[in-house]
A and B are shown apart, each in its own frame.
Chain A
Amino acid sequence: MINKIDVAKEFSARPYGRYRDDGEFSAQRFREEFLLPAFEQGLPFLVDLSGSNRYGSSFLEEAFGGLIRDGITQEQLGLMEIKHELLPSIPLEAKEYIEQAISANDN
């Protein structure tokens, strides 16, 4: 069975902010405490964003775009799947930030 990170249940239904200084449920904390350990396991995993509709763009950029800045490779990114049951624009946006971070990294 694929590992799943249920953001609303395991992290917060009210995520906010980019850095730890911005609040308790910041993107930086989510990335460091949930996403990076999941990549370290080397197994496919699903990031389920359903259950909350309050993902600000800064949160998504820092959580997902920040993975590239933290040294996650494109090959490793293949392990991660992102979904939201109701709002397809949210995973789309997260993927867009990953792409942007990759091209910024390449330049």
Chain B
Amino acid sequence: MTIDWFQIFKIVYFLIGHLDEVVAIILTILGWFIIVQNGKRLARKNEAHNLFQITRSLVNNIFETSKHAWLKGKIDLPQIEEHHLMLMCAELEICISKLNNYFDTKIYSQQITDLRQAITLIPFTINGKKLDCHSRIQEINSISSEINALLITGVYTHLNKS
């Protein structure tokens, strides 16, 4: 294939002749690109932040609800409360799996398993020793705090970087 230098020269000559218009078009395209990318980034950041807030309040609600349930029930957890807590745990796991699409929160299914166990396993034992209600509440508190800490670390470290 031969290069038609004359044609190329004609195109270059045309572009130089309309340089202001060419630059305007390039700047418009570039500007739109930057606006769209920035919009996407902000939307993603807001979405992740909202999800983070929902997840945190879920963890706190789970702790508060289970604390009241166990202080009241003492030996057993009534069906309605167990189902309510289980639904919250399921919601929490789904929220965390969605959050993990944005950040590496380092919260895995094992932590949710531990939390669910501490909330609903009857009798609740650790190393073969049966735990009373107050020790159970302490354990729920400790797992919830661990999840909260991992959430804050994972999310804010990333949000501050981006």
Q: Do A and B come from one complex?
A: yes
Chain A contact residues, CB within 8 Å of chain B:
14, 16-18, 23, 53-58, 61, 86-89, 92-93, 96
Chain B interface residues (CB < 8 Å from chain A)? 77, 79, 82-83, 86-87, 89-90, 93-94, 109-110, 112-113, 116-117, 119-122
How far does the alpha carbon of A53 sit from the alpha carbon of B92 in the complex, in Å? 11
A56 to B117, CA, bound (A): 8
CB of B82 within 8 A of CB of A89, answer no
Question: In the complex, what residues of A have CB within 8 A of residue B117's CB?
Answer: 57, 93
A89 to B109: give the CA distance in the assembly, Å.
Answer: 5
With a cutoff of 8 Å between Cβ atoms, the chain A residues found around residue B79 in the complex are 16-17, 23
Give the interface SS of chain A, mostly helix, strand, loop or mixed: loop
Task: Give the complex CA separation of A58 and B121 in angstroms.
Answer: 5
A24 to chain B, nearest CB (A): 11
Picked from B83, B93, B109, the residue with its CB within 8 Å of the CB of A16 is: B83
A-B contact count (CB 8 A): 56
Given the contacts A16-B82, A86-B94, A93-B116, A53 and B121 also touching, CB distance less than 8 Å? no
| Complex contact A54–B83 (CB within 8 A) | yes
Q: Given A87-B94, A93-B117, are A54 and B87 also a contact pair (CB < 8 Å)? A: yes
B residues in contact with A17, CB < 8 Å: 79
CB distance from A26 to the nearest CB of B (A): 11
B158 to chain A, nearest CB (A): 23
* Smallest CB gap from A91: residue in B: B109
* CB within 8 Å for A57 and B119 given contacts A16-B79, A87-B90: yes
Chain B residue nearest to A95 in the complex (CB): B113
CB-CB under 8 A from B109, the residues of chain A are 87-89, 92
**A61 cross-chain contacts in B, Cβ below 8 A:** 121
CA distance A56 to B113 in the complex (A): 10
Whether B112 and A58, one on each chain, are in contact in the complex, defined by CB atoms closer than 8 angstroms, is no
Shortest CB-to-CB span from B25 to chain A, Å, is: 48
In the complex, what residues of B have CB within 8 A of residue A96's CB? 113
CB-CB nearest in chain A for B109:
A89
Question: How distant is the Cα of A63 from the Cα of B22 in the complex, in angstroms?
Answer: 72
Cα-based distance from A18 to B75 in the complex (angstroms): 14
CA gap between A16 and B121 in the complex, in Å:
12
* Chain B residues within an 8 Å CB radius of A23: 79
